[in-house]
Structure 1
Amino acid sequence: MMPDNAIGQLRTGFPEGAPSALDLWKKETGIEVEVVGASSTDIFTKVMQDVTTGDGSIDVYSGPWNSTGDLVASGGALDCTDYVTKYQPDWGDPERGVSTKEVEQLLYTYNGKYYSFALDGDFQTWYYLKGLYEKPEVQEAFLSEVGYELRTPDTWEQVDAISKFFTGKDFGYGTMYGNGNLMSPFWGLSTFYMRLASMDAPNYYFFDEDGNPQMNTDLAIQCTEEHVRSLEWSPPDALTFTFAESFAAIWNCRTPQSGTYTAVGKFGDGYNADGTPKSKSTGMLGCHGPVGRVVGDKLVRRSALYYSITSWVSSKSANPEAAYLFLQWLSSTRMFTWMVSNPSGTFDPFQQANLVEPFVIDTYFPYTTDAIPASIETGVPTLNFAGQSALDTALDEELQAALTGQKTSKEAMDAVQSKWERIIRRQERNGIRDAIKASRASWPTVVENI
């Protein structure tokens, strides 16, 4: 089972004339793999339906990385630690694998055991219209109105200043809206978590050291107020956007910046086979590093890992070792590097081997592959433990209530705090506090002296 938007990288050969990944697997093993598709927003619901009612015909589940804890708690994912010990995947290879042991633990383990197979690099990456920022008339207008030169932002304060400046202006592309960040239900949580994580140094943790929520502190309420205010500079339909609409907004020069998923350049920059530009932003795009805020004498930049296609071996599989070996092969640094260079799907690069492969660089453009390491280095884990779905839903509902003016930011975050406390109590039996404590080890601590 695989998200629809990723299947092309399994079924389509790349470059032209090459076999597909599935064709190569069948040639080398004689085993045919049937792929069952589902939408990116519905797939985990289908996974859980199969966990409770399925007959074992699905050997491999896929869905958001954030759902690992709920799947493990349901008994639906197989603990593959013994297979990892036996077959020694190269995910943590110091030269080809992920950049640090912490990132390996973040992407491939849950509570210290190997359940997950990372097939995506959804550390949020900042795109901007570099060609627009460099226009003399834009530079002059920004300096006159804002009081300093327009450059890529380091802080959320600067992001908001850029958002405010561009909103309502037309620099030859139609009326613009300065905030291109995701604000909608489900997808907008990535934006909020990035902003919240940077509220303190080295991090603003969503839970304290004992696993208690920290969602209605002064800092969390301030963050919510900033998040809600940023909607003023968003497209009018921003609360209905998925990642696809957010991509389209920057491709069409409707918005100048977005902290989003790493495929913006792959699908929107460059030229089609007939020589036409892929979008209005062809040749204009760039990436910059994660943003954050100044805390004392430190600059805390934070990205976030959110969604990120992940696979698991079904605990019901009649072929668990074969399913494991298929996923180890698919996620290996050589196979995944080849597959992620294929522009026909949404798997994104994150392994060191991916980021130096010419095919991958050609597909994503150097400005993206150069920026990804900083996003990984500063990427905080969003929620990924039993109860994640309920916790994220509770936060999502209250943020939307604040964004639509039904509640103040304080009222919304007080409600989140109460809901999260109740959810944690219900999930005690599933070891949620231990999982929360364990997740702290995968949080970044890098900060910049100023």
Structure 2
Amino acid sequence: MIERLHKDAEFIIKNSIKAVLPDSAVKKALSNFTHTNGKVVLIAAGKAAWQMAAAAVEVLNHVDRGIVITKYGHIKGEISGIECYEAGHPVPDENSFNATKRALGMVSDLSEKDTVIFLLSGGGSALFELPLIPGDELQNITKQLLSSGADISSINTIRKRLSHVKGGRFALACAPAKVFSVVLSDIIGDPLDMIASGPTYPDNSTCDEAKAIVQKYGLTLSDTTLKLLEVETPKEIKNVDTYITGSVRELCKAAADNCRELGYETLILTDELCCEAKEAGRFLASIARTNAKTGKKLAFIAGGETVVHLTGSGKGGRNQELALASAEGIGNLESCIAIFSVGSDGTDGPTDAAGGYADTDTMKELSDKGINIHDVLSNNDAYNALKETEGLIITGPTGTNVNDVAVVLIGVTEVQ
């Protein structure tokens, strides 16, 4: 039965991600775009940038110039008329800075007759970046934020104040040209000013909020950076039309549909999961324990984005940590249970895995190898532990990015 659950998990992951690829959504959004007599410039940034740009060019037939800025390994080929660049994520690098400078150059000479098609997806905060401070300092601040346990909105509140393009500043750089923005959401609640740090949307956060985040997480910042936190971001932008498409809600619905297709009675617990990854894993294990003896095939779904507070130097990501943390809670049950969590973009933390899978055999398998789950989680080394149990979920880059989904599967034990 455990083998059956593993195959069911693979089916659910594959088909759920396929259902939220951005191609049709981008084409639908661009059906509202009316060509003018001016130039059309396409700028695409984020982990789904290549996929979104390819779909857009297919609809538009022609762009005067354009650029894709995406994560390493995410470019799938040439796109006619588009320059494609790969750069650093989750920490920006020189390629991020150089590609963003190139994008700014493409929009620097536009008139009110021209239009910028701006395609934005999650990961854009690192990939679409030209900092107001030295690059190595920004990289250090990014690493501090990512290891602090801060949520994505808090992280982006800081990052948008240190950038030439974030917090609405890219829209101002495009003026007087019109910006037609299509956004693939990767943040709970779809806050447009926070997705990829809102390059073309007015910033709703304040300087006081940014300074409070610095205090809360004990960030070490230079005097120059602290002064930038005192500079307010744009609060009004008039040259942008925005269309938001894709969300974790759609991902959860797709996962639920696939679970039902496999015969599971299915319940979506939430599409706003936001807590520490380890706590989410333990919570889902408790859901499994409560429902383990019903004699029914059940599935429970939770979508959103958890966080990891780094306390060790191991390898992993939030989805892997969630799955491993659930293993102890389901390890002593007689029922057949699997819990898995996956990032829709195909990458989880600085690893080649999209997420992690655990079942009722995982804890014993690790114990037999002398691996203690508590020690692994303290060292944030879920990747290497799950590798020992074939619990890594590997999809490769998917072409989309709409948060994460975690699933509890409870199977019916077969009668011998």
TM-score range, shorter chain: under 0.3
Q: Which has the higher helix share?
A: 1
What TM-score, normalized to structure 2?
0.26
Q: Which has the higher strand share?
A: 2
What TM-score, normalized to structure 1?
0.25
Higher relative CO (Cα under 8 Å, sequence separation at least 6) belongs to 1
